[in-house]
Every structure is written in structure tokens, then in C-alpha cells.
Amino acid sequence: MDRRNRALLIAGLVVTALLAGVVSTIASSQPDGLERVAIDEGFDDSATDGATSDSPLADYAVEGVENDRVGTGLAGIIGTVVTMAAMIGLLYGARALRRRDNTSADA
Amino acid sequence: MHIPDGFINVPTSAGFGAMSAAWVWYSLRRVGEFLDDRRIPLAGLLAAFVFAAQMINFPVAAGTSGHLIGGVLAAVLAGPWMASLVLAVVLVVQGIFFADGGLSAIGLNVFNLGLVAVVGGYGVFLLARRVLPAGKPMVVIAAGIAAGVSVILAALSFTLQFAIGGEADVAVGTVAAAMVGVHSLIGAGEGLITAMVISAILSSRPDLVYGYTPAMEPTHG
């Protein structure tokens, strides 16, 4: 990776960490657009608790962390790391697919 | 606009899940064709940024908030197929780890945000580029408009899913009007944020903006 890409990567990670770890803690906790429509039109009660609703990170909190803001920020940082790792892993998968195609085309 | 479990019945969710899976598979093949290995970490950053930005709910009206989808943002930066993968990864992480969007609804959510918002929004971007004059500021404006429209397209896509398999007995026209109304406001925020981020990257690293093709621009000197 060249120097310009590395500089951008570092700057981007700093901005992303600030968003997920700090700005997220002061974000609005009001219902979002879909939730608002569901409440207003009376179908919000058709929502059911999903299979992951008792996840230790459910609703962007961290189980065992008492302070809500700290929990949200921590959950944000964890999610950022997991998302980045998952995306990079998926792209290495895409690369492996391409290589397999090239190999079978050569055969 | 993350649909929880229970809003849409299982057969409908499964149908949209199959379409979303097919689209993600196709996107994976398309991305694999031209993937530059040196850009893999930057694509990872893009996904992380979209995840982080989706945590930031901004108030749009009394008692209502919205947050960035990031579909057009990712598509203008990295192309529609990479953008679909970004949104799919973000939605799967949100559903599995954070219970944000139901697991049975992941296919519905990937369809609305990873396919309709990305592909529909990118189509609007290309159209706006043709109508508007050349130049970097116009790329920013086109991206902003497309991002705003993409939110309304996603809202309509939810309405379609609700019409097909909504569990609640509510008139579809009422849901459509309410969805478009509130998401017009959220779309304005989506457009503004998208325009700001594209503008910042276009001024420092135009080579990283997929939707900006210098060949289309007038040459000076």
C-alpha cells in the first residue's frame, strides 16, 4: 500500500472511530423513519424480538457496562472493527473466486 | 429503515432473501473481476465508515430521527457492486451482533438498502451527471440529489414488501404516503451528508471517486 493510501486509511479510521465511539453517544434516540411510521399507523406491535435480541451487544450497548454512553461508544468501536474485518474477509473471498475461475479457464 | 422481525411474513422475507442473496453473489463476482488488491483495506474502511455513520441518528421532525444509509455514497466512491457488498456486510453485522434489523428480515433489508438504494440511487446519479454540466462541483450535486432520492426509493421498496407480506392490516396507500413523507426529510439529510463526504474526497483524492471520470471533464492546457 502506497503512502497516500496509508495516510487516507489512517485519517479515515480516526474519523470513523470518532463517529462510532464518540458522536454516536450523542445521537438522537428518537424512533427512526420506519419506526415512526409503524407507531403512527399502528403496526409497531407486529415487531417481534429477534433471535439476536439477547446478544451481549444488542441495541448498541455492551452487557455489563452500566454507563449508557460508554456502552454505546464501546459497541460502536467493536462494530467498526468487526465490519471492517468482515468486509476485508469478503473481498479476499472475491479474489479467491476470481483465481479459481482463471485456473479453470486455463485447464 | 431497518425492518425488525415480524413486520413482514416469512414467505415474503424468504423470497426477498433469495433475490438479495443472488444479487450479493453477482456483486461479489463483478467486484472480483476488477478488484485491485491494494484497495481492499480502503474498501474495509468504507464499510466501517458506513457502519459508524449509520449509528448517528439525527433529528428530522418532532419525535423522529433518521440516519445515513450510505448506498449512494459508497456507489459513487467504489461503484455499485462494491457498494452493495458494503451495505450487505453492514446489515449482516448489525443484525447478528446488535439486533438492529431482524435476522429473518436481513434479506428484506439488503434488498431495500443494498440493492434498491444503491442501484436505483446510482442510476439517478448517472442521469444527473448527463443532465448537469461537467465539473467536480456537479459530481457533488449529482451525488447529493441521488442520495436523497435513494432514501425515497428504499422507502417505496419497503412499502412494496409491506403490500405483499405485511403482517398488520393497514392500508398500503396510508403506509406509502407516511413512508415517503418522513423519508423525504431523512433524504435531505442523506443528500447533504453524501455531498459533504464526496466533496471532501473529490478535492483530496479524486482518483478514489468511481463516479468521477476525468475523461468526461474539459481539459485545460
Kindly state whether residue A15 falls inside one of the protein's structural domains: yes
- Residue B178 is assigned to a structural domain of this protein: yes
Q: Do the domain assignments include residue B151?
A: yes
Across residues B212-219, what is the average pLDDT? 62
Best residue in B89, B94, B106, B184 for a mutation probing chain A (most A CBs within 10 Å): B89
Q: Is residue B219 part of a domain?
A: no
For residue B215, is pLDDT > 80? no
Q: Do A43 and B93 touch (CB under 8 A)?
A: no
pLDDT the model gives residue B221: 39
pLDDT tens, residue by residue, B26-49? 999 999 988 988 899 999 999 999
* Confidence check: pLDDT of B219 > 60: no
Reported as a single tens digit per residue, the pLDDT across A33-71 is: 999 999 999 999 999 988 888 899 999 999 999 999 999
Domain annotation covers residue B194: yes
How much is the average pLDDT of B207-216? 82
Most B-contacting residue of A84, A95, A99, A100 (CB-CB within 10 A), to test interface: A84
What average pLDDT does the segment A6-10 reach?
94
The domain in which residue B184 lies consists of 10-214
Q: What Rg value do the Cα atoms of chain B yield, rounded?
A: 17
Contacts of B180 in chain A (CB under 8 A): none
Using a CB-CB distance cutoff of 8 angstroms, which residues of chain A are in contact with residue B28?
A: 90, 93-94, 97
Cβ–Cβ below 8 Å for A36 and B31: no
Average pLDDT, chain B: 95
DSSP B114: I
Q: Does any domain span residue A7?
A: yes
Cα of A80 vs its chain's centroid, Å: 5
Bin B213: left if φ > 0, else alpha if -120 < ψ < 50, else beta: beta
**Structural domain contains residue A106:** yes
Lookup result for grid cell 465511539: A21
Average pLDDT over residues B129-133: 95
Q: Give the number of beta-carbon pairs within 8 Å between A and B.
A: 223
Does residue B105 lie in a domain region? yes
d(CA B109, CA B12): 12
Give the pLDDT score at B209. Answer: 96
Q: Is residue B16 domain-resident?
A: yes
Q: What is the pLDDT of residue B216?
A: 54
Q: Is residue B109 part of a domain?
A: yes
| pLDDT number for residue A105 | 63
Of the candidates A20, A42, A87, the beta carbon closest to that of B89 is on A87
In a domain? residue A103 = yes
**Listed residue (B79, B80, B103, B81) closest to B91, CA to CA:** B103
> For the residues B144-169, what does the mean pLDDT come to?
97
* Pick from A36, A46, A80: CB nearest B167: A46
Residue B131 pLDDT greater than 50, yes or no: yes
Nearest CB to B28: which of A34, A48, A97?
A: A97
CA angle B118, B120, B125 (to 5 degrees): 85
Is residue B176 domain-resident? yes
CATH of the domain at B122: 1.10.1760.20
Please tell me the total count of domains within chain B.
1
Task: Domain of residue A106: give its range.
Answer: 1-29+70-107
Confidence (pLDDT) at A55: 92
- Please report the sign of the dihedral spanned by the C-alpha atoms of residue B45, residue B51, residue B55, residue B58: positive
Domain contains A60: no
What pLDDT digit, counting tens, does each position of B85-123 carry? 999 999 999 999 999 999 999 999 999 999 999 999 999
Residue B33 exposed, middle or buried by CB count within 10 Å (0-12, 13-18, 19+):
exposed
In this predicted model, what pLDDT tens digit does every residue of B3-16 receive, in sequence order?
999 999 999 999 99
Question: Is there a domain that residue A94 lies in?
Answer: yes
pLDDT of B218 strictly over 60? no
Q: Is the CB of A7 inside 8 Å of chain B's CB atoms?
A: no
Task: Say if residues A47 and B4 touch (Cβ distance below 8 Å).
Answer: yes
- Answer whether residue A35 is part of any domain: no
pLDDT score at B188: 98
Number of domains into which chain A is organized? 1
Look up residue B217 and give its DSSP letter: S
Mean pLDDT within A71-90: 98
Residue B67 and residue B56 in contact, taking contact as beta carbons nearer than 8 Å: yes
